[in-house]
Chain A
Amino acid sequence: MKPSDYWALVLVFALLAVAPALAGPFYTRLLATGILYGTAAVGFNVLFGYTGLLSFGHAMFWGAGAYTVAIGMVKMGLSFPASLALSLLVVGVIALVTGFLSLRHTRIYFAMLTLAFGQLLYAIALKWRSMTGADEGIYGVPRPLGDVVLYYYLILGVSLVVLLALLKILKSPLGLAFRSIRDNPFRAEVVGYPVNRLRLLSYTISGLATGVAGSLYAPLQTSVNPESLYWTFSAAIVFMAILGGSRVFIGPFIGGLLYVFIQDTAMGATEYWLLATGITLGALILLLPEGIVGYIWRRLGGRLE
């Protein structure tokens, strides 16, 4: 049987649903982080893998989501659902504005621009002490449902909804339009697609998905700090997508889970875990440029994007 996007999603989430029964609280929390990283990376991949635009600024959506939920719950006293809604609004506006400006270019220039706008948000978070707590960030974000395991299931549920919605979009005519732009923007324009508007739409959908993941991350950590907006986290999101495989829908999700565990293993093994992570990731990208899931997918006879 050839692998399909839906069945892969169902299988992975079924495994994740039983995982807390086997893992202790520490690994449950790590898995929850992995699920959110993975969801953020799938969101990133809507723009990268399906629309052909490499963003190096997705930490801005992740971080903006995390900060807005933290500010909403801690500073404004809003409930979690209200904070989440506010965070979607904020992320959406940020995506529309930065997308409008960054999409004046494509390819490497686009990557640099998104990176620079991410740094703009980072600079704001670092300086706006009364709102963001500056370099210390915001502490004491309440965790909905309290318990880590219960919150894990909330994360799992929301992530599943986000991923199903993205898959639905990508399989729709809109998704086909994105692919057409990715494969040949000139042809897409000649055929009559409003290329720039569709790119902005893809950018916004992509940012919102990553923003939801970031929004759920702040209550998991019960805190948020400027690192969540720093450009190296944007690079990490790109890494997750490529690590898992950007040409399979579920690839970046698995990439996010793997990234968390590579990092955790390296941290446990050596004081110089960045060095170990860097060498591992560098080697993987040279040896398996299609990603781990991409490789397995192809071996199983699945269709790559």
Chain B
Amino acid sequence: MVDAGFLVAQLVNALFYSSILFMIASGLSLIFGITRILNLAHGAFYMLGAYIMYTVMTALPGGASAVLGILAAGALVALIGLLVEAGLLRRVYGKPEEVQLLLTFALILVLDDLAKMIWGPEYKSLTTLPWGSLAVGDYTIPVYHLVAIAVALASAVGLWLLFSRTTLGKKIRASASYPEVAEALGVDTRRMFMATFMLGSALAGASGALAGPVLTAYPGMGTEAIVLSFAIIVIGGMGSILGALAGALIVGFTRTVMAVVYPVLEVALIYIVMAIVLLVKPTGLFGGREVERR
């Protein structure tokens, strides 16, 4: 008989990991859905978030600094996103995909090395998480994990409200679907693209900030995260927030369960699940008409 406390602890672990993945993947999917740029450096943004969190939390220990760290990571990475969008990516909107991808790939090399320059090559971890933990049977559940799950849920609801209930959300969507019409109606599509890129980047930064203290921060953590985000988007369907949520849960739970049951397939199974989804429903679980055939 498996211990109930163990199951609850693993459930929280899986939800925590899914939350981190959801925030990265939804940011990536959002940026792609609107600007048509698949930002390979999105994972590097996530890494920067983790490092910023580390810096804030080692400078000011305590629960309040964790909140500050998450906010700072979101804001600073949004700012970096703004610089990247305005300085670099704006030149390649509508250019061939390989130019866009390679430019953002070059950006990974630059950001990874900048992180190494600022924070050093070694892994950065915190020995204790803020806010203590709850006891469930023989197991403990860090409150930090629960906060992270709450933040991810809040972002999911926030994104949904933004795009279904607000004028800004409608303007952003219009800028992607009908740019000429939107312009004619007085929407500054350039600024909408910029806002989208900043929002998506902020999600990556905040996600990294939440992940950093648990999963440790290191150069190259972004290149790992970005590929999992791809798997999530393929499973869930491109451009769908609900899809990103479903995909993140599938990947998060697959990995957590396999890590306990059969670690050899921990990562491989994610891609096998992806292949199966692809065979059964090529547009992903929640993907709409959007996928191009040719």
Contacts and interface: CB of A to CB of B under 8 A. Distances in A.
Q: Do A and B come from one complex?
A: yes
A235 B40 contact: yes
A123 B259 CA distance: 13
B110 A282 contact: yes
A238 interface: yes
Contacts of B227: 115-116, 119, 231
Contact of A111 (B97, B108, B117, B294): B97
Interface stretch (A151-159, A204-212, A272-280): A272-280
A109 B114 contact: no
Contacts, number: 127
**B contact face: mostly helix, strand, loop, or mixed:** helix
B14 to A, nearest CB: 19
A79 to B, nearest CB: 31
Given A116-B234, A285-B106, A106 B294 contact: yes
B101 A272 contact: no
Interface string B250-294: 000000000000011111100110110011001000000001111
Contacts of B291: 105, 109
A279 B98 CA distance: 17
Interface string A263-305: 0000000001111011101100110010000000000000000
Contacts of A273: 113
Given A101-B278, A109-B292, A278-B107, 4 more contacts: A116-B234, A120-B271, A186-B294, A278-B108
A231 B267 CA distance: 15
B292 A127 contact: no
Contacts of B265: 127
A123 B224 CA distance: 11
B113 A278 contact: yes
Contact of B272 (A105, A120, A230, A279): A120
Contact of B102 (A112, A113, A124, A238): A238
A282 B107 CA distance: 8
A275 B113 contact: yes
B129 interface: no
Interface string B85-104: 00010011001111101110
B233 interface: yes
A137 interface: no
A281 B238 CA distance: 29
B268 A120 contact: yes
B221 to A, nearest CB: 13
A73 interface: no
A113 B98 contact: no
A85 to B, nearest CB: 27
Contacts of B238: 109
8 contacts: A109-B238, A120-B271, A123-B267, A127-B263, A238-B101, A242-B98, A272-B113, A281-B106
Given A235-B105, A274-B109, A281-B106, A112 B234 contact: yes
Contact of B233 (A112, A126, A238, A289): A112
Nearest to B271: A120
A159 B88 CA distance: 37
A104 B234 CA distance: 12
B231 interface: yes
Contact of B101 (A111, A113, A123, A279): A111
Contact of A104 (B92, B109, B230, B282): B282
A278 B266 contact: no
B106 A282 contact: yes
Given A101-B278, A116-B231, A279 B268 contact: no
Interface in B122-162: none
Interface of B: 32, 38, 40, 88, 91-92, 95-99, 101-103, 105-110, 112-114, 116-117, 223, 227, 230-231, 233-234, 238, 263-268, 271-272, 274-275, 278-279, 282, 291-294
Nearest to B113: A275
B75 to A, nearest CB: 25
Question: Which of B92, B274, B279: most chain A CB closer than 10 A?
Answer: B274
Nearest to A285: B102
**Residue of A106, A111, A274 with most partner-chain B CB within 10 A:** A274
B34 to A, nearest CB: 14
B40 A101 contact: no
A185 interface: yes
Contacts of B96: 289
A286 B106 CA distance: 11
B107 A123 contact: no
A104 B275 CA distance: 11
B105 A127 contact: no
Contacts of A285: 99, 102-103, 106
Given A101-B279, A116-B231, A116-B274, A107 B97 contact: yes
B186 to A, nearest CB: 31
Contacts of A128: 264
A40 B213 CA distance: 40
Nearest to A120: B271
B114 A123 contact: no
Interface string A93-131: 000000001001111110111011101100110111000
A37 interface: no
B38 A112 contact: yes
Contacts of A242: 98-99, 102
Given A54-B98, A108-B97, A278-B113, A124 B268 contact: yes
Interface string A245-270: 01000000000000000000000000
A93 B292 CA distance: 27
